Structures are given as structure tokens and as C-alpha cells.
């Protein structure tokens, strides 16, 4: 079994462990990550609409009416704030999920350690056992609170950006894809 397959297997076990204890929180976090990513991409799309449909006509008008511009700016601000609030909320939920999961992992490790025979502790230095437990749970904390959400957020953002690019111009999207590859 290669190392990459092993890593995905460990990631799957960890996510299964988290989802088993925090189904609702994980679902809410998933929705909030999608909402945050889509909001950030849509704000970028709003700039084109803002310039083409509001600012350019205002600059060519003899008597400019700023009410529609103000309305679209308020809409843009609401979408941006929704993205910021979603990011804050999913990070806050992940703090609780991460801490709760680590507590459960530590409890499981302690229960497993209690079942080990005394000969195991006689043949392994005490500091090494505790160091492995501490380092591994700290790595899990970092993975749960930062790596996994960031990976999922990045995937959703990439998909949203590609969709926005296709919406804007299929030909430019193809050109960008060719240049990137």
C-alpha cells in the first residue's frame, strides 16, 4: 500500500470519527464554507456589473442618479458581510468540534492505554509514550481546525472561480486553462 493511499485512509478514518460525534456541526460547517467561498467569488463578479451597468452610465449621464449605484453597493456589501460572517461562524464551530474531538480522542487513548499490559510500559520510556500522544493529538488538532477546512474551502473556491470564469467568457476560460497547464 503506497503512502498516499495510507494518508487518505487515515484522513477518512479521522473524518468518520469527527462526523460520528458531530454530524450536525459538520453539516453546518460544510454549508458555511460553501456560502463563504461563493460570496467571495460573487463579490468579484459584482465589480464587472458595477462598472458596466452603473458607473459607466452614470459618467455619461447629464444628471446622474446615484440611488441605483447606492443600492447595488449595499447589495455587494451585504454579500461580502455574509461571506465574512460565514467564515467567522464556521471557524467558531470548528473550534468546538476540534476541541470536542480531541477530548474524545484523548479519552479513547487513555482507555486503550489502561488496557495495555505492564510489560509494555516497562519496555518503553514513559516520556516517549506521552510525547507520541501529545504530538499526535496536537497534529490532529491542527488538521481538524485548519488543514481540512482550508482544503475544502480551496476546492469550493476553485470550482466557483471556474464557474464564474465560464459565465464571464468561455473563450477566455479556455485560454487561461491552456496557459495554466
Tell which wins on pLDDT, 173 or 133. 173
CA angle (87 as vertex; 81, 88 as ends), nearest 5: 90
Whole-angstrom Cα distance, residue 36 to residue 29? Answer: 10
Provide the mean pLDDT of the chain: 85
The model's confidence at residue 144, banded by pLDDT at 50, 70 and 90, is confident
Ranking 23-32, 139-148, 164-173 by mean pLDDT, the lowest is 139-148
**Average of pLDDT values for 9-32?**
86
The model's confidence at residue 6, banded by pLDDT at 50, 70 and 90, is low
Tell me the DSSP string of 53-75.
IIIHHHHH-SS---HHHHHHHHH
CA angle (28 as vertex; 23, 34 as ends), nearest 5: 130
Ranking 7-16, 49-58, 87-96 by mean pLDDT, the lowest is 7-16
Collect all residues with Cβ–Cβ distance below 8 Å to 97 and sequence separation of at least 6. Answer: 18, 22, 25, 26, 29, 144
Q: Which contacts qualify for 106-110: CB closer than 8 Å, 24 or more apart?
A: 106/133, 106/137, 109/133, 109/137
H runs (alpha helix) in 22-125: 23-49, 56-60, 67-115, 118-123
Whether the per-residue pLDDT at 49 is higher than 60: the answer is yes
Whether the per-residue pLDDT at 1 is higher than 70: the answer is no
* pLDDT attached to residue 31: 94
The model's confidence at residue 74, banded by pLDDT at 50, 70 and 90, is very high
* pLDDT attached to residue 2: 66
pTM of the full structure:
0.78
Round the CA-based radius of gyration of the chain to a whole number and report it: 24
Whole-angstrom Cα distance, residue 2 to residue 36? Answer: 35
Q: What confidence tens digit (pLDDT) does each residue in 111-130 have?
A: 888 888 888 877 877 777 77
**Is 55:46 a contact under the CB 8 Å cutoff?**
no
Amino acid at each position: 500500500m503506497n503512502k498516499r493511499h495510507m494518508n487518505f485512509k487515515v484522513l477518512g478514518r479521522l473524518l468518520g470519527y469527527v462526523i460520528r460525534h458531530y454530524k450536525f456541526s459538520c453539516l453546518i460547517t460544510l454549508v458555511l464554507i460553501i456560502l463563504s467561498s461563493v460570496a467571495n467569488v460573487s463579490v468579484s463578479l459584482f465589480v464587472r456589473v458595477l462598472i458596466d451597468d452603473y458607473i459607466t452610465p452614470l459618467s455619461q449621464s447629464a444628471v446622474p442618479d446615484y440611488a441605483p449605484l447606492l443600492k447595488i453597493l449595499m447589495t455587494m456589501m451585504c454579500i461580502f458581510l455574509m461571506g465574512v460572517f460565514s467564515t467567522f461562524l464556521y471557524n467558531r464551530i470548528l473550534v468546538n468540534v476540534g476541541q470536542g474531538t480531541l477530548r474524545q480522542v484523548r479519552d479513547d487513548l487513555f482507555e486503550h492505554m489502561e488496557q495495555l499490559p505492564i510489560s509494555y510500559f516497562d519496555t518503553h520510556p514513559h516520556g516517549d509514550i506521552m510525547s507520541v500522544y501529545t504530538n499526535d493529538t496536537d497534529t490532529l488538532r491542527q488538521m481538524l481546525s485548519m488543514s481540512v477546512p482550508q482544503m475544502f474551502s480551496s476546492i469550493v473556491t476553485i470550482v466557483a472561480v471556474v464557474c464564474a470564469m465560464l459565465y464571464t467568457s468561455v473563450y477566455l476560460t479556455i485560454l487561461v486553462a491552456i496557459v495554466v497547464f
